[in-house]
Structure 1
Amino acid sequence: MLCALIMAGGKGTRFWPLSTEEKPKQFLSLIGEETMLQMTVNRIKPIITIERIFICTGEKYVHFIKEQLPELPERNIIIEPEGRNTTPCIALSAFIIKRYYKDATMLVLPSDHLIEDENEFRNIVFSANKFIKNNDEAIITLGMKPTRVETGYGYIKYSNDKKMINNYDFIKVEAFVEKPDKEKAEVYVKEGNYLWNGGMFLWSVENIINNIKIYSPNTYEALHLLNSIDQNKLQEIINNNYRYTEAISIDYSVLEKSKDIYVIPSDFGWDDVGSWEALDRYGEKDEAGNILVGNTRAVKGENNLIISTNHSVVVEGLSDIYVIENDGKILIGSKSNIANIKELKNTI
């Protein structure tokens, strides 16, 4: 039974001032009319029914999920008492999913990624699910072929050991590599056996729980009672025990140690939309190259990024600038310097 976990507890600080801790980017409409979370859910609904889609988030964001996904069963909203990285999030969610779907295969997705070719994405997930059914101790990750030298992503180094299912290669992972500097990224791209790590995984729920028991025992011990307790005590146990989990990413705790990991080289137009530059790459542009979000206009100007959440904004006769308005705060600057916008945070 294929189920999905969407991790939606991040604070989205790289998209400040539009994304804030009160309303992070996964709940915003950055590309198109749907929010990033809605895009993620709608992308997988053709192959996973809403009853088998689970979302892990913090208490302060539950109302956004209910507003944006009113059809999602309330039991499928998994509430973390605090953010403690991806290992506790995945462990908690695996135990919850196992309560309802004992033999589930678990697709793990971030809540704020862009995928342009959604049919290809679903085909890869379908093939990966088939692989897991025949290899129940395997871990599958999706890796994207680098299209540029990128220092903002981790990389996956793969070996020559591969299998094929439905015309997709399943290649044994040799190593997970941290975000590199520019020189190392250039080497990775040139060598050709490195893929971007998009943080998307498939595994049997039983297998990931067993791996966490081996490689992150404190996390397992803190949460294993979730297997057997009554439903009405579930959140109480989570709230009391979550603090004892190991605050570490799944890459460090499990993926760098487990031996049966495969990567599928994937080509479906992926980006994690983790920066303003990414929004400029994928945002819908008018004939003058302007990206306009909200009640905004650009008159006699080109290549501008203009976003407003509350007020009407008109820019006349200017080019290559950004204007970002959120909750009455307005930032204006050169688009060439937008990567450094967070440096202004303490000035307003």
Structure 2
Amino acid sequence: MSSNDFYAIIPAGGVGTRLWPLSRRNRPKFLYDLLGSGQTLIQSTYERLARVCGEEHVVVSTGEAHVDSVREQLPSLREDGIFAEPVARDSTAAIALATAVLARRHGSRIVVGSFAADHVIRDNDAFAECVRQAAAAARHGYITTIGIAASRPSTAFGYIHQGHSLAGEIPDAPSARIVRSFVEKPDSSTAQAYLQTGEYRWNAGMFVMRADVLLDSLKQYQPDLFSAISAIADAWDQGEECRKQALRQHWYGLEKIAFDYAIAEPLSADGGVAVVPGGFGWDDIGDFNSLAALLPSYNRQNIKILGNQDDVVFLDSAGDIVAAQAGRTVALLGVDDMVVIDTPDALLVAPRARSQEVKNMVTKLSGLGRDAVL
């Protein structure tokens, strides 16, 4: 695809609480090589997007606490290619600020795409083709998402209800379809019903759009947020002190709201959102159970090990996912389908079936004042 007008934004936020105690506030999951591939999640994401639009067109939005780590892991990231947030204000603010600044630098009709830092994608060529079609639909004025083929009736993801084809309107995006609606995470019976219709895809939170379309939509649906983001963007490239002053004045009061709720859902009701089906092999490492599905089995008992295998010893155990500290032995006897994560200051033991609930334990620890381990 032509990359002259396309810019990729990598929102690298969130703590990944369901992967505690591996993922922490000061070192979240996107900074780890969880799959043993030789690259951290954000490094893989950056490399994938750089292949699409070039390194000079990739930027990262992340928390101030992670700036040094991001720069260390992405040494070729351009000097002005990082947007540091003093506090997290969810995806709408992160995407809108980066878009507004890029629009001021390169023109309001550039196309921007937002792709999370912690997703796993297997087929980079198929991914690039989906982005190309999404950018074509974006140039026609649609905010375009990439919908993932729902391979099972998952209750962990939101869904996209797709409608009629847009191929006649957008010849360069033959796979694009209109979005009828976005649907919240369903219960299992509803998810099963969605799969049977063939009209629903998983919502992976990937969005491609012209900068002016996004900012006009933000002004329409979130006018207060638009005003604050505009003020910060105006000051962003006017020097460090101007930028800091604008952030102090406007950022902390921004509403914390996800891009789906703020923009995509209301705009889809007005017929302004398109979807391009994504068939490139996608996974969101949302919890230890989903991580285990991506790791090779250590033995015939389907044991999954993070890190050094020599430190983990099993007897009459099966289906576990285990992480051990270097030099410290973890021994499991008669333990099946469990999560055992051992770190220097915290140990998690939980059934794999309750992996989604690890975030509840993080909430409990915070309530008990155990923030030092979070």
2:252 maps to 1:243:
yes
Report 1:192-271 matches (<5 A). Answer: 192-229=198-235, 230-232=237-239, 233-258=242-267, 259-271=271-283
**Once the two structures are superposed, what CA deviation does each residue of 1:227-254 show, in whole Å capped at 9, x if it has no partner?**
5445202233123211233322221221
Identity %: 29
Letter in 1 for 2:103: K
CA distance in 2, matches of 1:330, 1:59: 28
Change (3 A) 1:311 1:101: farther
- 1:41-90 Cα offsets, whole Å, 9 max, x none, are 11111122222111111111112101211221231110112212221111
Question: Of 323, 328, 333, which residue of structure 2 is paired with 1:307?
Answer: 323
SS of the equivalent of 1:222 reads helix
Aligned length: 346
- Whole-angstrom distance in 2 between the partners of 1:106 and 1:30: 28
Give secondary structure in 2 for the equivalent of 1:74: coil
Find the residue that maps to 2:266 and give its secondary structure. Answer: coil
Distance 1:315 1:210 in 2: 58
**Deviations along 1:150-208, whole A, 9 cap, x unmatched?**
11111111112431656741100000111112222122112221110000010011211
Aligned to 2:112: 106
Letter in 1 for 2:262: S
Counterpart amino acid of 2:306?
A: V
Residue matched to 1:169: 175
The answer for unaligned runs of 5 or more in structure 2 is none
CA contact (8 A) 1:140 1:202 kept: yes
More displaced stretch, 105-114 vs 27-36: 27-36
Distance 1:57 1:115 in 2: 21
Distance 1:116 1:318, change over 3 A: farther
CA distance in 2, matches of 1:282, 1:311: 25
Unaligned residue ranges in structure 1 (runs of 5+):
none
Q: CA RMSD in A?
A: 2.3
Aligned equivalent of 1:290: 303
Matched letter for residue 40 of structure 1: T
* Alpha-carbon distance in 2 for matches of 1:243, 1:316: 47
Counterpart of 2:284 (choices 272, 278, 295) is 272
Decide whether aligned partners of structure 1 residues 228 and 307 sit closer, same or farther in structure 2, where only a CA change above 3 A counts. Answer: same
Amino acid in the other structure paired with 1:148:
R
Q: SS at 2:115's partner residue?
A: strand
In the alignment, the residues of structure 2 paired with residue 217 and residue 254 of structure 1 have an alpha-carbon distance, to the nearest angstrom, of 11
Query: What is the TM-score normalised by the length of structure 1?
Result: 0.91
Whether contact under 8 Å (2:11, 2:60) holds in the other structure is yes
Give the conservation status (yes or no) of the 8 Å contact 1:296–1:306: no
Q: Which has the higher strand share?
A: 1
Residue 91 of structure 1 aligns with an amino acid whose one-letter code is A
User: CA distance change for structure 1 residues 309 and 60 in 2, over 3 Å: closer, same or farther?
Assistant: farther
1:16 — aligned with what? 20
Query: Partners of 2:352 and 2:184 in 1: how far apart?
Result: 28
**Aligned CA distance change for structure 1 residues 311 and 61 (closer, same or farther; 3 Å):** farther
Q: Give the corresponding residue for 2:82.
A: 77
For 2:313 and 2:233, how far apart are their aligned partners in 1? 60
TM-score, normalising length from structure 2?
Answer: 0.85
| Mapped contact 1:296–1:313 kept (Cα < 8 A) | no
Verify the 8 A CA contact 1:118 1:268 in the aligned structure 2.
Answer: yes
